[in-house]
Structure 1
Amino acid sequence: MAGLQGWQLVIIILIALLLFAAPKLPTMARNLGQSMRIFSSEVKQMRTEGKEEEPSNGSTAADATEPVEGRVVDPDPRPRDDR
């Protein structure tokens, strides 16, 4: 007897997975699908980030809805009195 080969071990693991984890397989597949969609959308967003052109007329309606990172925005233009 030569022992188990690689493909035989894979088949045994798949059978054990089907026997013991069968009720959880739909949930695991759904989570994997959601993760893949999120990952692909993030990759697409990273590719298009550098290709977007800056608007020449200042801010647009889309700029007002996007979050501002790294700056504190004070809606009141008057200086604050910190006394």
Structure 2
Amino acid sequence: MNIFGVGLPEVTVILILALLIFGPKKLPELGKQLGKTLKSLKKASNEFQNEIDQVMNEQDKDESPISIESNQTNEINQEKIDSENSKK
């Protein structure tokens, strides 16, 4: 068992210290609070990631027509230049 680079012996020592510091009555309450905190952090992280993905998708949609128009304009300009060069 290796969680965040901490092995089983280290986890055992941490749990024993927590038990000594907070006592057996307070420890389950702290565990619940820690679980709720981690859950809310994960939810916030997911929401943030979803917003970033949404903005990126909107930018991709917005850029696509511009790049198509830009390519068409470049092609038309190139055709004009080619036709002018062929006339000379």
TM-score (norm 1): 0.42
Instruction: Pick the structure with more strand per residue.
Output: 2
TM-score, normalised with respect to structure 2: 0.40
